[in-house]
Amino acid sequence: MPAVDVVDETFLAVPPPVVKAAFANRDSWRTMWPDLTLEVYADRGDEGVRWTVRGALTGTMEVWLEPVLDGTVLHYFLRADLPVPAGPREIRRETTRRQFAAKNIAFDLKVVLEDGRRPGVPPGWKP
């Protein structure tokens, strides 16, 4: 079992292809995960991406894009080990750090991609 196991879900009020585009640009990966080197091992199209992870952690990471109602649930999974042996305190600290980072990425995407749109409001509709 990996030492760092992070699972997150966030609803975005945009369709999966819009969310997928945010992860399609390899340059954005360096912004989202500056201390990780990612290599795609499964591009699942509008359903997301799976990576192998090296650098500050070694393991796998995935974004799964699930169409729900008028938007997308962004599922995030990170399963990795620290490159050096670590005690329980260091593992908890790293796991918490990665949990906050995952949620920050999702919330940043909400702000940019939703552009103020609320769930249930048709795309492009402005009051």
8-state DSSP, 101: H
Question: Residues with Cβ < 8 Å from 97, sequence gap 6 or more?
Answer: none
Residue whose pair of structure tokens reads 């949620």 in the numeric block? 103
Instruction: Point out which residues pair with 50 in neighbouring strands.
Output: 42, 62
CATH label, 4-114, candidates 3.40.50.10490, 3.40.1390.10, 3.30.530.20, 3.30.70.360? 3.30.530.20
Distances (CA, A) of 53 to 14, 38, 46, 77: 27, 5, 21, 12
Can you give 14-58 as a three-state secondary structure string?
Answer: CCHHHHHHHHHCHHHHHHHCCCEEEEEEEECHHHEEEEEEEECCE
What is the residue extent of each domain of the chain? Answer: 4-114
List per-residue pLDDT tens for the chain, 127 residues long: 899 999 999 999 999 999 999 999 889 999 999 999 999 999 999 999 999 999 999 999 999 999 998 899 999 999 999 998 889 999 999 999 999 999 999 999 999 998 877 667 766 666 6
Question: Residues with Cβ < 8 Å from 25, sequence gap 6 or more?
Answer: none
Q: Residue 122 corresponds to which tokens in the numbers above?
A: 């048709």
Nearest alpha-carbon partner for 112 in 6, 5, 14, 31: 14
